[in-house]
Amino acid sequence: MKLLVVGVSIFLSLSTLAAAGGAPPPRMPSPEGQQQQSLPETAAQPVGEQEMFMMPSGNIGCVYTPAGGTAVYQPQDGGPELACDIVAQRYVRATLGRAGAATLNHAVGDPSCCSAAQVLDYGQSWSRGPFACASERTGLSCRRDDGHSFLLSRAQVSAD
């Protein structure tokens, strides 16, 4: 019982800190005669919004993140980034970043496919930034302007 009370107390303390943002108290004005220290200015980055789409089968879903990222996610290379997940036969995430070859991740730590996002019907295409995708009954193929691409289907998963 004591352990439960201690655990609840710690949880409430941490959640209160999180809700307050863990912000330090405001700085007090500097005393007369002392120079006020200025904090380095940080340029506010424009924050974009992710766009999601999925295949009609519900087996493949994609998330496009614009250059600069979002308030909660910034691609490693600064973006833009296109990441698509396929559920069956095995869960795999294919990613195209700003540069370099497409990558395949067979050990996804945050599987999130497939939401009730916009459906990209078979025969339709999608494009944003340097990326373009084509939806076919046989799968989804996506390509970046420089030719790097990936293919996701029940029969084949590939990236170059």
Q: What is the pLDDT of residues 58-89, one digit of tens each?
A: 999 999 999 999 999 999 999 999 999 999 88
Residues 87-131: pLDDT tens digits? 988 999 999 999 999 999 999 988 888 877 799 999 999 999 999
pLDDT at 6: 32
Residues 11-41: pLDDT tens digits? 333 333 333 344 333 333 334 443 433 333 3
Residue 83 lies in a domain: yes
Residue 15 lies in a domain: no
Residue 42 lies in a domain: no
Residue 107 lies in a domain: yes
Residue 123 lies in a domain: yes
Structural domain span for residue 146: 51-159
Measured between its terminal Cα atoms, the distance across the chain in Å is 57
Residue 31 lies in a domain: no
- Can you list the positions of beta strands (E) in 3-156? 51-54, 60-65, 81-86, 92-96, 103-105, 118-119, 125-128, 131-136, 139-144, 149-152
pTM: 0.71
Residue 34 lies in a domain: no
Cα 146 off chain centre by: 22
**Confidence tier at 46 by pLDDT (50, 70, 90):** low
The total number of structural domains in the chain stands at 1
pLDDT at 117: 74
Residue 5 lies in a domain: no
